[in-house]
Chains A and B, each alone.
Chain A
């Protein structure tokens, strides 16, 4: 569960004040709002990439307000995937596990498991250059999921994809949720995408968070 308890954050002249909400464990929550409403800023603050001015942020009951990003147990998938150009797909999937000093055998097993789920086995020794948009997003998802995070934060991961690839990644996200039970917080502009994937919708408007009903898919 993610709990925002009266949080305030500021980036230059832009400010979000006194935001509070609860995102239940295991839910898929779509965070929606107009361009410039502060969705990405809020997501970055939850991930620990921006400091809070005030308030408390809890993940699964643990106060992480002052924890560095890497100690929060969150996976982050930005819009463009932000893959590491010098690493292979295999090294991407092993990145977080290598940092946690997992034994080589366990890392290899986890990489194979993720590559199986995400249909990345034929790509394991490729570099990001030349991967398609859908392949890149599957690698970014695998990299973020590898260390069993409690929460997966997605910043418009489908917006740059064509319709077929978008549908494919939607299936992948549904499959990930079924297999892992991870809590999704997912920024999207697309109501169809929200209807298909989310069971809760939060709307960020005029500096306030509102809960909306999920439209029919």
Chain B
């Protein structure tokens, strides 16, 4: 066995090339992006302007578009109304049973959508809610559409708002308290403006989730044309009668609406970030 000569020069270390690493990352990422692009493109290539136009002319589909836009917007507002306080309380206040509550808030995310629909249906069979329904009909009516969308969309908004408040340092809020704010003033004047981008993201997610919600609506609201029909219901109904062209045209409409909302809100978020850093 030979001992190394300590006076011998140490050969310089040269790290290997990064090409293989980035090639592997590129291939893995590219596979998904190609699949995603191909899926959306397939809809575009299948449909024609004629299909699209005929779909837009249909009174049922126009009603579904109107109801979708209205219900998604209301669902988004309701989700933010609830998600902002829950997100703030869960990050700034420590209390017994918090971990359990945290798990509970995630239930709508992990629960199969159909189960949410069935659960809502059963809930509204309870005597107090049945009495309420005599005055204010919910099941198989428009409010049930909004409630079914809200159950799922709100859970995503809560998760987003919680992550948002976790990322905001409590220090500025504490400084605001020493400057003379009470907790409410510190929240409105300091915390909420810092959370603006998170609120926009939560709104986008809630709106997009609400637009695509189908399972709970089918069970809790039914699929009555010109009454509780939203765009995913239209796709289902058109498919069930073999009208694939109309189903694809409506699907594309949903893709365009979702992308438009994403671009609009992200564009606004980006502009406001450039003008007024957050």
> Which chain A residues have a beta carbon within 8 Å of chain B's beta carbons?
44, 47-49, 68-72, 74-76, 78, 80, 82-86, 95-96, 99-100, 127-130, 140, 143-144, 147
Contact between A70 and B178 (Cβ–Cβ < 8 Å)?
yes
> Which chain B residues have a beta carbon within 8 Å of chain A's beta carbons?
169, 171-172, 174-182, 185, 189-190, 193-194, 196, 276-278
A residues in contact with B190, CB < 8 Å: 84
> Mind listing 15 A-B residue pairs with CB under 8 Å?
A44-B174, A47-B174, A48-B178, A49-B174, A70-B177, A74-B178, A75-B179, A78-B171, A78-B175, A84-B194, A85-B277, A85-B278, A129-B277, A143-B175, A147-B180
Within the complex, which residue of B172, B182, B196 is in contact with A84, where a contact is CB–CB below 8 Å? B172
Contact between A76 and B182 (Cβ–Cβ < 8 Å)?
no
Within the complex, which residue of B171, B180, B189 is in contact with A82, where a contact is CB–CB below 8 Å? B171
Question: Which residue from chain B places its CB closest to the CB of A71 in the assembled complex?
Answer: B180
Known interface pairs A82-B169, A82-B172, A85-B194; A68-B177 also in contact (CB < 8 Å) = yes
B residues in contact with A127, CB < 8 Å: 276-277
Contact between B182 and A68 (Cβ–Cβ < 8 Å)?
yes
In whole angstroms, what is the CA distance A72 to B177 when docked?
A: 10
Measured between C-beta atoms, what is the minimum distance from A57 to chain B in Å? 14
A residues in contact with B276, CB < 8 Å: 86, 127
In whole angstroms, what is the CA distance A99 to B175 when docked?
A: 13
Measured between C-beta atoms, what is the minimum distance from B268 to chain A in Å? 15
Question: Which residue from chain A places its CB closest to the CB of B175 in the assembled complex?
Answer: A82
A residues in contact with B178, CB < 8 Å: 47-49, 69-70, 72, 74-76, 144
Contact between A86 and B171 (Cβ–Cβ < 8 Å)?
no
B residues in contact with A68, CB < 8 Å: 177, 182
Contact between B277 and A99 (Cβ–Cβ < 8 Å)?
no
In whole angstroms, what is the CA distance A18 to B190 when docked?
A: 35
Measured between C-beta atoms, what is the minimum distance from A10 to chain B in Å? 14
Measured between C-beta atoms, what is the minimum distance from A77 to chain B in Å? 8
A residues in contact with B180, CB < 8 Å: 70-71, 96, 99-100, 147
B residues in contact with A71, CB < 8 Å: 180
A residues in contact with B172, CB < 8 Å: 82-84
B residues in contact with A86, CB < 8 Å: 193-194, 196, 276, 278
B residues in contact with A100, CB < 8 Å: 180
Which among A78, A86, A130 has the greatest number of chain B C-beta atoms within 10 A? A86
In whole angstroms, what is the CA distance A99 to B193 when docked?
A: 17
Question: Which residue from chain B places its CB closest to the CB of A70 in the assembled complex?
Answer: B180
Contact between B171 and A99 (Cβ–Cβ < 8 Å)?
no
Measured between C-beta atoms, what is the minimum distance from A69 to chain B in Å? 4
In whole angstroms, what is the CA distance A80 to B170 when docked?
A: 12
In whole angstroms, what is the CA distance A100 to B181 when docked?
A: 9
Question: Which residue from chain A places its CB closest to the CB of B193 in the assembled complex?
Answer: A86
In whole angstroms, what is the CA distance A82 to B177 when docked?
A: 12
Known interface pairs A84-B190, A85-B194; A96-B179 also in contact (CB < 8 Å) = yes
Contact between A143 and B169 (Cβ–Cβ < 8 Å)?
no
Which among B169, B175, B277 has the greatest number of chain A C-beta atoms within 10 A? B175
Contact between A95 and B179 (Cβ–Cβ < 8 Å)?
yes
In whole angstroms, what is the CA distance A140 to B177 when docked?
A: 14
13 further interface pairs, Cβ-Cβ under 8 Å (given A69-B177, A78-B174, A96-B180) = A49-B177, A68-B177, A69-B178, A70-B177, A70-B182, A78-B171, A82-B169, A82-B175, A84-B176, A85-B278, A86-B278, A95-B189, A143-B175
Return the 5 tightest CB-CB contacts between A and B, nearest first. A129-B277, A82-B171, A70-B180, A76-B178, A86-B193
Which among A74, A76, A127 has the greatest number of chain B C-beta atoms within 10 A? A76
Which among A47, A70, A83, A147 has the greatest number of chain B C-beta atoms within 10 A? A70
Contact between B181 and A99 (Cβ–Cβ < 8 Å)?
yes
In whole angstroms, what is the CA distance A153 to B215 when docked?
A: 57
In whole angstroms, what is the CA distance A84 to B191 when docked?
A: 9
A residues in contact with B189, CB < 8 Å: 84, 95
Measured between C-beta atoms, what is the minimum distance from A119 to chain B in Å? 22
